[in-house]
């Protein structure tokens, strides 16, 4: 069983913000699975489904980003899901818009949602799908930048990244993280040159 957690903030005012890209990916993933009725629990919206014969718990924490770990830990404990089977989808400032990377373990790199999960889980050894949002162009404060919608000329790249992140979820579940990393981390939807 996998716990797939998409990170974001609840409420209409945050719906299209860069910080909510985890929610966007999980929304798309659940639509593709025909999952439309998420329940309330674990301080989250959540749903149960299967993919490729694997049971999945899809989790949209409603704790606000900085307390995501509370929801993730509660769901993982209830379903007895080990840390290596908690897949977290989140935005990443250090990856250009349109780029998706899979990683396992490591620090939070300043991401408060990931920091919260590490703190509550007691480990950083969980897989992550990191969806690039890039950094501010116009000197915006990071706090404001992540809570704003993407620039107009990035919308196509962001939309492509959401689709690529859905595919990354499928690959991790079907083939395991190593194979998924080999396939996804070389795929670049961004127009920028990126070195691995």
Catalytic residues, which ones? 19
Q: What share of the chain is helix, strand, coil (3-state, %, to 5)?
A: 45, 20, 35
* Cα distance between residue 85 and residue 2, in whole Å: 5
> Cα(83)–Cα(81) distance, rounded to whole angstroms?
7
Say if CB 75 and CB 42 are below 8 A apart: yes
Q: How many alpha carbons lie under 13 Å from residue 174 in its C-beta half-sphere?
A: 10
Measured CA to CA, the distance from residue 75 to residue 58 in angstroms comes to 10
Distances (CA, A) of 63 to 24, 117, 135, 159: 17, 12, 25, 25
Report the distance separating Cα 179 and Cα 169, nearest Å: 12
């Amino acid at each position: 069983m996998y716990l797939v957690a998409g990170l974001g903030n609840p409420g209409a005012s945050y719906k299209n913000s860069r910080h909510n890209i985890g929610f966007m990916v999980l929304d798309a993933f659940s639509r593709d699975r025909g999952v439309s009725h998420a329940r309330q629990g674990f301080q989250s919206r959540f749903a149960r489904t299967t993919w490729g014969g694997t049971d999945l718990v899809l989790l949209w924490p409603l704790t606000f980003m900085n307390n995501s770990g509370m929801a993730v830990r509660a769901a993982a404990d209830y379903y007895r899901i080990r840390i290596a089977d908690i897949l977290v989808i989140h935005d990443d400032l250090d990856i250009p818009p349109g780029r998706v990377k899979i990683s396992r373990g490591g620090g939070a790199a300043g991401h408060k949602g990931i920091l919260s999960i590490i703190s509550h889980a007691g480990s950083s050894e969980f897989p992550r799908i990191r969806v690039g949002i890039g950094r501010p162009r116009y000197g915006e404060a990071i706090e404001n930048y992540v809570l704003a919608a993407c620039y107009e000329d990035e919308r196509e790249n962001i939309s492509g990244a959401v689709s690529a992140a859905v595919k990354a979820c499928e690959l991790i579940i079907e083939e395991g993280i190593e194979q998924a990393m080999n396939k996804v981390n070389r795929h670049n939807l961004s127009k920028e040159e990126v070195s691995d």
